[in-house]
Amino acid sequence: GQNIDQPTEMTATEGAIVQINCTYQTSGFNGLFWYQQHAGEAPTFLSYNVLDGLEEKGRFSSFLSRSKGYSYLLLKELQMKDSASYLCAVMDSNYQLIWGAGTKLIIKP
């Protein structure tokens, strides 16, 4: 079966750095997405990786290792507004997105 694993919840301090991990087992791979979802709101796109390596976009970076079935989302200089759920999703061989359950990130002052 297809499976996306990510931690259920993480806590970090304002101004710090946090890394949210995602491991996956899917039938085929056509890219990995990270989305941010604030409570009661729609998921919003953060990043897309299809090749191995690090993609940096401002305070957010995303890393992919296809051989290990592993990705992480790195958030720097954390702000209170970063408190949200972070969803990892993999596009499989049928171009369908398989989603993880999300990691709830709690930022403390």
Partner 1 sequence: ETGVTQSPTHLIKTRGQQVTLRCSSQSGHNTVSWYQQALGQGPQFIFQYYREEENGRGNFPPRFSGLQFPNYSSELNVNALELDDSALYLCASSLEGQAFSGANVLTFGAGSRLTVL
Among 12, 20, 62, 102, binds partner 1 (CB under 8 A): 102
Both structure tokens of 61? 């970076």
Contacts of 101 (CB under 8 A, 6+ apart): 4, 6, 8
- 1-20 residues in contact with partner 1 (CB under 8 A) are 4
In whole angstroms, give the CA distance from residue 73 to residue 80: 17
- 20-59 residues in contact with partner 1 (CB under 8 A) are 30-31, 33, 41-45, 48, 50
Entry field: residues in the chain: 109
Residue 101 binding partner 1, by CB under 8 A:
yes
Choose between 18 and 32: whose C-beta lies nearer to partner 1. 32
Point out which span in 56-64, 65-73, 76-84, 87-95 binds partner 1 (CB under 8 A). Answer: 87-95
Residue 69 binding partner 1, by CB under 8 A:
no
Residues at the interface with partner 1 (CB under 8 A): 4, 30-31, 33, 41-45, 48, 50, 87, 89, 91, 94-102
